Amino acid sequence: MNRMKNPPRIAIFLNPSSGNFAAGKKKETLETLLKQKGINYQLFVSQSASHFQSLVLDKVDQFDALVAAGGDSTLLMLITSLRRNQIQKPVGMVGIGSSNDIMRHYRLETMEAAVRALQRYQICQTDMIRIQGGTEEFLAMGQVNTGLGVYVNLEVERLKNSLIYSIFGQTGSGLFAIIKGYLYAHSRSIAQKLEIFRNREVWGQPSEEYDIALFSKISFWASGKLFAPEANAQDGKIHAILVRRRSLLSMIRLILASAHGNHLAHKGVFSVQEPSFSMKKEAGFPLQVDGEVIKDAEGGVRLFQEVKIEVLLGVLPLIC
């Protein structure tokens, strides 16, 4: 950890579309908190993903640190923009998105906690995850997964403008999405027959089908579920969890148990921690990275036949 002697100049990039466009409504509250704490900041509101990235690159040299105000995917967008341009500056986060699992892991899920962290300005060198699929490379700060989580995410996105979402909100819609995503995956035999390797040795059974394969650096997943309770962002390891294919009722029980990390005791749930993993499946499998499903050029779900997942040790200076 380190701390600057003079108040750092902080650029805050707010994504108003985060949290189903609720983030933009929190701008005034956020600025009030920033001023109360005496933060030396400027706030920029993005208009699109491409505008967000151009804003970051345009302003980066004018500030000591850069902060993403949005959800997990907004934070990843900021970090990816910096690393792809080989820029190393402290990064912060204000969780005003839908899930905020990364912020929750660092106990910064409220605006008040996030602003206090900016005031303290303590820097932690934090691990990241690198995902290599073919000739492409993707980054994750929190987690990468395949299986049921992908289809639940897609269903939640579909529901965001629906009557169900407006009545039941994120939590109620999430349960509906779990049921719909499960039925969709199983009706099309999408449950994963994966070859998974840890340190080049096979982990799990290729003949088995898995509903969830999660590789995480943070404790929380799926909007606050304590799915990887032993995950540590600074230990040089990825916490991997496999969930064997099961009935819908059994899956709902498992997800409910994961609120407190009790799902790890369920039959057919396996966990291990290693610096790297790889996955293979001839027919291909989708990937979700920090809450975003990877799409192809036409906007459809992209399928990978093989990926390597590994830790990048201590590469991110995070305001924690």
**Does the pLDDT value for residue 196 go beyond 90?**
no
- Cβ neighbours of residue 186 closer than 8 Å, sequence gap 6 or more: none
**Contact by Cβ (8 Å): 216, 143:** yes
Residue 189: what pLDDT? Answer: 56
pLDDT tier at 190, thresholds 50, 70, 90 = low
Residue 194: what pLDDT? Answer: 78
- Is the whole-model pTM more than 0.85? yes
Average pLDDT over residues 8-37: 88
Architecture of the domain defined by 10-121: 3-Layer(aba) Sandwich (3.40)
Instruction: Please state the domain extents for the chain.
Output: 10-121, 136-315
**Does the pLDDT value for residue 81 go beyond 80?**
yes
**Does the pLDDT value for residue 302 go beyond 90?**
yes
Q: Which of 81-85, 172-176, 251-255, 277-281 has the lowest mean pLDDT?
A: 172-176
> Bridge partners of 122?
none
Cα distances (angstroms) measured from residue 316 to each of 83, 117, 203, 235: 9, 16, 29, 13
**Does the pLDDT value for residue 2 go beyond 60?**
no
**Contact by Cβ (8 Å): 73, 13:** no
Q: Which of 49-53, 151-155, 266-270 has the lowest mean pLDDT?
A: 151-155
**Structure confidence by residue, pLDDT tens digits, 251-301:** 999 999 999 999 999 999 999 999 999 999 888 999 999 989 999 999 999
Look up residue 9 and give its two tokens. Answer: 């100049």
- Tell me if 10-121 shares its fold with 136-315: no
**Contact by Cβ (8 Å): 307, 132:** yes
Residue 80: what pLDDT? Answer: 95
Residue 207: what pLDDT? Answer: 65
pLDDT tier at 99, thresholds 50, 70, 90 = confident
Residue 42: what pLDDT? Answer: 98
Closest to 222 in 3D by CA, of 170, 267, 159: 170
**Contact by Cβ (8 Å): 201, 244:** no
Kindly report the average pLDDT of the chain as a whole number: 90
Q: Is 121 left (phi over 0), alpha (psi -120 to 50) or beta?
A: left
**Contact by Cβ (8 Å): 88, 33:** no
More confident residue, 19 or 30: 30
Query: Cα(113)–Cα(94) distance, rounded to whole angstroms?
Result: 9
**Contact by Cβ (8 Å): 81, 57:** yes
Average pLDDT over residues 104-129: 96
**Does the pLDDT value for residue 176 go beyond 90?**
no
Residue 21: what pLDDT? Answer: 63
Q: Which of 119-133, 179-193, 239-253 has the lowest mean pLDDT?
A: 179-193
Helices (H), 89-162: 101-105, 111-120, 148-159
**Does the pLDDT value for residue 171 go beyond 90?**
no
Average pLDDT over residues 29-39: 96
Percent of the chain with pLDDT over 70: 92
**Contact by Cβ (8 Å): 3, 122:** yes
More confident residue, 183 or 261: 261
C-alpha dihedral over 300, 301, 302, 304, to 10 degrees? -160
**Does the pLDDT value for residue 319 go beyond 90?**
yes
Residue 191: what pLDDT? Answer: 54
In this structure, whether the domain defined by 136-315 belongs to CATH 2.60.200.40 is answered with yes
